[in-house]
Structure 1
Amino acid sequence: MSLPPVKTRERLSEVRYEIRGELARRARELEAQGRRLIKLNIGNPGAFGFRAPEHLQRAIADRISDTDPYTHQQGLPAAREAIAAFHKQRGTPNASPERVFVGNGVSELIDLSLRALLNPGDEVLLPSPDYPLWSAATILNDGRPVYYRCLPENGFLPDPDEIASLISSRTRAIVLINPNNPTGAAYPRELLEKIVAIAQRHKLLLMCDEIYDSILYGDAQFTPIAPIAGDLPCLSFGGLSKVHRACGWRVGWAVLSGDPVASGNLHHAMDLLGALRLCANVPGQFAIEAALHGEDTIAPLCAPGGRLFEARRAVIESVAQSSHLQLVAPAGALYAFPAVTGAAANGFDDHRFALELLETEDVLVVPGSSFNVPYRNHFRVTLLPQPDDLREVFRRIERLLDRYAQSESGAQAAVA
């Protein structure tokens, strides 16, 4: 007798995460066949030869005998003190260890904080493009994503007037990703001040994903939002995964700032949800103080001659030499978000392109529409490979786009 299939949650049908989705599964199949792929779908430094800094590794090794027990649901006291001190240096109001939450990466804390905040039907303003976990976590916690556009012609920066126009009686929070994934945009202070003013006017929570805060190129600057927000409740997210190249350690944190009375209910809700999962990974928490108050190991990688800077340069120069691509140069983070233009863009579908690039050129990228944008002519690559590898990637991309353009030219000639 055959058993009926196990039913799953219906809202999962609304969730997309192509970064590790169908294309990534096809890539694993091709690798099992012996194909050697260049995979640019995930910002995973360890997969490209980066290592977590040695002083962070030592901090864990020296305390490994202390990592067996559960710790407090909000994190190790010393780790939370280090995070609070770091945020005080930035000017974050009311930063204290009691208002710091350590989680299994920022991903867990995004989900946990939205679960603490949302009732069914509540709305969250999200950037488009966004990091798709934000959309997924909003949907799976019975909220509704409402997208404000970050258009390429505006350098992928949002329009505060559009943000204000999208606010309804159900809006609970405005989400910012700064520096942005997937575009690399870094938000100037004047723009952040306008968004804070909107949130203050409507009494909305600010949620700022700042996981790439120290990954900046050229004269780009990072401006934290919590000091601008003042007494307005704000959650600022950070972690070890990107700046400190320790993704597998799963160490992230959220700092709740602003008026403690106004944010008291949210604090208690997050504390309850943190307690239900007992605690976050303990060993990695012993590296937090060394990461935030020790040697700066990311700045040399982002400066001229540094590996990330030169990888970014390789992408920018490759796009400049292309007949089919345009790029808003990323100011920060670990990604570029090129656009396909001209004849190659006629009838272009980013998912079909990504699959053909994988099948014919052994390169895995993420379709741009996976980041919740309405257009389908972008794709995302990570800047983590060696610069020469990225130049080779764009030679292969150009070959495929040449074929697209030639096919389109042939079709037009046939019509004529």
Structure 2
Amino acid sequence: MSRRTSPFSRRTDWPRQTNRITRVHEELKEQNIQIVDLTVSNPTHCGLAAPPEFLDALRDPAGLEYAADAHGLLSAREAVAGLFARRGLTVDPRDLFLTASTSEAYGFVFRLLADPGDTILFPTPSYPLFHFLGEINDVELGFYPLTYRDGWHIDMAGLVEALHPRVKALVTVNPNNPTGSYLSEEERRHLNKIAAERDMALISDEVFYEFPLGDAPGASLAGNAPALTFTLGGLSKFLGLPQMKLAWILLSGPDHLAAEARQRLEIIADTYLSVNTPVQCALPAWLRQADTVQAPILRRVRENWEYLNREAAGLRGTQVLRAEGGWYAVLKVAPVRSEEEWVLKLLSKYHVFVHPGFFYDFEDGPCLVVSLLVPPDDFREGIGRVLSRVEQQGGA
């Protein structure tokens, strides 16, 4: 009998070495050097926390009772359905499943759709968390490219090239993080056609959907009928409440596929029953007050976005890439040094922290990524340092 070399799974054997950027950042903090952090994206750390009276809803006595429901409490699901009704979409609460986080929602859907070794396609550039979510769920990660042409678009030829028989689903982030690009109607039609022809599912992460930088958001896959579709959302972004741990899956698609998916998801969700009752009881009251939280967040990201574009206009060496929604902005800077060198220079010499594009798998760089949630005074100070240094050193 051969001996096992480790009690741990190969799927969790991730590299854990601290990267150079993180090490320098930690060293500066240990020296009590004040850093202007342009990466902070936790609304509770940006002066955008929900008002204290939000806690009153947690005092509902119904939170002391427990009634297991694989979908989540009906009252909570009806409240979520009401969100879609405001968009003009009728949602049956039976098509909603509540989870403890959007990450858990991904896990449920991956387990529903993919056997070990099957592939899920993800956009690139996009959020690095996808690598971990795929590996934890024994899913092979495939990627389809987004390209920049006066805005970000799905490279349909690149998407078709990424398809193969073991691709079970395609993820779209709408708007994408951090590129801020919504799906267009044309892209939605193409995705539906591909999914229907290949018996694939669509997974649409719409956690940032309610935060357009312009007048209106783009196309949504919520309630999408032509293909089996799972639309994800949650309180972390929708209400700036990452600490309250509630998200949702909206199921839609052809009737026979949706019915089968519903029954299978019920078993998966019933196995975990992970959403706590007090938060579910509080959800209707919170969603009725959504504007009190969403409006300040939307105002913050729009004001910072507009400031960034005004300040960068006409500067040498810097291009603010067009975005349509979400909480992030991407700056393309002069290729006089690598992304890591740009970030380290800004951090160690000018004490401003930004993320490099390679954190998000940008290929056409160098790019720097900043959060639009940063408090305005800090944002203006930090962006001022970034733009002045880039123009001085990269605009030749």
TM (norm. structure 1) is 0.83
Answer yes or no: is 1:183 the counterpart of 2:179.
Answer: yes
Pairwise CA distance, 1:145: 1.9
List aligned pairs for 1:204-215, cutoff 5 A.
204-215=200-211
1:84 to 81, 91, 94: 81
Residue in structure 1 matched with residue 278 of structure 2 by the alignment:
283
- Aligned equivalents of 2:214, 2:17: Cα separation in 1: 31
- Paired residue for 1:27? 25
- The equivalent of 1:224 in structure 2 is 220
Q: Please report how far the alpha carbon of residue 256 of structure 1 lies from its aligned counterpart in structure 2 after TM superposition.
A: 1.2
Residue aligning to 1:414:
none
Contact map agreement 1:16 1:136 (CA 8 A) in 2: no
How many residues are aligned here? 393
* Displacement after TM superposition at 1:114 (Å): 1.3
- Tell me what 1:10 maps to: 10
Q: What's the secondary structure of 1:149's corresponding residue?
A: strand
Is residue 320 of structure 2 the alignment partner of residue 327 of structure 1?
yes
Query: Given the alignment of the two structures, is residue 130 of structure 1 paired with residue 126 of structure 2, yes or no?
Result: yes
Which one of 245, 248, 252 corresponds to residue 250 of structure 1?
A: 245
| Residues 116 and 270 in structure 1, CA contact (< 8 A), matched pair in contact too | yes
Distance 2:262 2:24 in 1: 42
> Residue 57 of structure 2 aligns with which residue?
59
Q: 2:331 aligns with which of 329, 338, 363?
A: 338
Residue 287 of structure 2 is aligned to residue 315 of structure 1:
no
> Are the equivalent residues in 2 in contact too, given 1:17–1:133 (CA < 8 A)?
no
**Correspondence 1:7-406 to 2 at 5 A:** 8-12=8-12, 23-24=21-22, 27-53=25-51, 56-60=54-58, 62-63=59-60, 66-67=63-64, 69=66, 71-87=68-84, 90=87, 95-227=91-223, 229-294=224-289, 296-297=291-292, 300-301=295-296, 306-320=299-313, 322-341=315-334, 345-346=335-336, 348-401=337-390, 404-405=393-394
Contact 2:316-2:394 at 8 Å conserved across structures: no
Q: CA deviation at 1:133?
A: 1.9
Distance 1:376 1:10 in 2: 33
Please, which runs of 5 or more residues in structure 2 have no aligned partner?
Answer: none
The CA deviation at 1:170 is: 0.8
Superimposed CA distance per residue, residues 50-100 of structure 1 (whole angstroms, 9 cap, x where no aligned partner):
02256644322x31662574743432221112223433554657x332332
Tell me by how many angstroms 1:249 deviates: 1.3
Q: Partners of 2:164 and 2:17 in 1: how far apart?
A: 27
Query: What does the per-residue CA deviation read over 1:212-231, in whole Å, with 9 as the maximum and x for residues that have no partner?
Result: 1110122342322134x315
Per mean C-alpha deviation after superposition, the further-off stretch among 63-72 and 269-278 is 63-72
1-side partners of 2:286 and 2:153: how far apart? 30
Matched-pair contact (CA < 8 Å) for 2:297–2:373: no
Provide the rounded CA distance (Å) in 2 between the counterparts of 1:91 and 1:258: 18
Contact 2:79–2:287 under 8 Å retained in 1: yes
What SS is found at the alignment partner of 1:59?
helix
Separation in 1, partners of 2:186, 2:123: 18
